[in-house]
Amino acid sequence: MSKKKNKKYKKGMAAKNAKKAAANQQSGGFERTSVKKPANEMDFFKLDKMGVKRVSIIPYWTGEGNPNADEGTLHYERSYWIHRNIGANQDSYCCLNRTFKKPCPICDWMKKQKDPQDEMVKSLKPSYRQLFHVVDMKEPEKVMLWDISNFFFGEKLNDEINNQDDDESLDEFCELEGGLVLKLVIAENKFGGRTSYKVSSVNFKPRKEDFDADILDETVCLDDLLIEKTYDELEAIFHQNEDLNEDPDEDEDDADRAAAGDPDEDNEPDDDPDPEPEEDEEPEGEPEPEEDEEPEGEPEPEVGDDDVEIEKGDRVSAEIEGDDYEGVVKDVDGDDVTITFDDGDELSFAPEDLTLIKKAKKSSASKSSAKSSKDKSKKGKSKKGKCPHGGTFGKDLETLDECDKCDVWNECDEEANG
Ligand SMILES: [Zn+2]
């Protein structure tokens, strides 16, 4: 009888689990085999559609083993490397060599293979990833965890910093005081019939308000999140797939392990600061979409083909003298794409110089696109000195929901921040 009492239905019980399950499944792609979920239940930042996101990167107090910062200092990222598709469950595991400077059974196995170009060997090459603390400027109170391949973001960030002009201080982007907002343009990445999202460009803008030092309390030690298997554990998982050719020479195996204790003797080019994508390995480096960015089902039904063709009505961005400008495709004539920019200017580009931000709506097409282009022209006219969403131009920047996709954000930003 008491059992029955325990199982008494109350409204909300099932919904509670449903909510939990949905949250689990959403973050479920997050690799528990290589990175732990932070104890403070931090949400994950994800790239889930094309467009623009404005974020700040928050530094954290480093722990042990960060390859780019001494322990106990403030730093903005944790680099790590994974081997993908390992074991019966095809999970990803931290490469013990690259990540922890210890012998790694998978790297050891790769070294012993005669043909380094063999598909199996190539597919095991460690992929370079990074963890960051991110604040989406739409929710400036909330620090999130971002786990992303270096090729999809960090590399672009580094390019910008390394190529900054003398009068810029872009490396201050991660400062709490006087830091910068990163404007990320997000593009689709299609590989193997699957779609994921990557940052196609990074631009920097002054941050209007500094972060309070308290925000550091919301961060976690990213170095402590990496899961370090022992050599034997990882080897056992690796050999769950028994189609691998075992090298019968056990003695050599032991010798290798001893030798691998010294990272300098490893096959990896340890001094190479950018081990991942040489062009030719880009596809292998990203054999699947990032787990965390894996789209739920078909992401954007409007994009059909593998080659994303730019068509009339699409929203695109174009880089002009280092700045990104957004606009709508007015006309496509062969390799000549005419863009009407949000400020009303018209220019032509080759399709490869454009970044697709949003496809034109296909169904109910003519109606909605006619409407939106009318809206656009209206915004275009009202733009100089006027907020198209009822706020105060140059003042309410990032305070309205519409700011995120506002066509006059740049102008408003300029007005606000001089
Ligand atoms: Zn390894």
Q: How many CB atoms lie within 10 A of CB 23?
A: 12
Give the pLDDT confidence score for residue 304 in this predicted structure.
34
pLDDT in tens, 236-269: 999 986 654 444 444 444 444 444 333 333 333 3
**β strands within 192-293, DSSP E:** 194-206
Give residue 293 CA to ligand 1 midpoint distance, Å.
24
Give residue 107 CA to ligand 1 midpoint distance, Å.
4
pLDDT in tens, 163-213: 999 888 898 999 999 999 999 999 999 888 889 999 999 999 999 999 999
Distance from C-alpha of 351 to C-alpha of 117, rounded to nearest angstrom: 34
CATH number of 30-293: 3.90.198.10
Distance from C-alpha of 146 to C-alpha of 391, rounded to nearest angstrom: 32
Q: Which CATH number fits domain 302-364: 3.40.50.300, 3.40.50.970, 2.30.30.520, 3.40.470.10?
A: 2.30.30.520
290 vs 124, more confident = 124
Categorize the per-residue pLDDT at 275 as very low, low, confident or very high, splitting at 50, 70 and 90: very low
Q: What is the distance in angstroms between the CA of the first residue and the CA of the last residue of the chain? A: 72
Give residue 125 CA to ligand 1 midpoint distance, Å.
8
Least confident of 83-87, 144-148, 180-184, 253-257: 253-257
Distance from C-alpha of 279 to C-alpha of 334, rounded to nearest angstrom: 28
Give residue 47 CA to ligand 1 midpoint distance, Å.
27
Task: Write out the residue limits of the CATH 2.30.30.520 domain(s) in the chain.
Answer: 302-364
Whether the per-residue pLDDT at 93 is higher than 60: the answer is yes
Give the pLDDT confidence score for residue 414 in this predicted structure.
57
Q: What is the maximum span of the chain, computed from C-alpha positions, in angstroms? A: 78
Distance from C-alpha of 308 to C-alpha of 198, rounded to nearest angstrom: 15
Task: Write out the residue limits of the CATH 3.90.198.10 domain(s) in the chain.
Answer: 30-293
Give residue 93 CA to ligand 1 midpoint distance, Å.
9
Categorize the per-residue pLDDT at 402 as very low, low, confident or very high, splitting at 50, 70 and 90: low
Token pair, residue 305, equals 């083909």
Give residue 220 CA to ligand 1 midpoint distance, Å.
26
pTM over 0.95: no
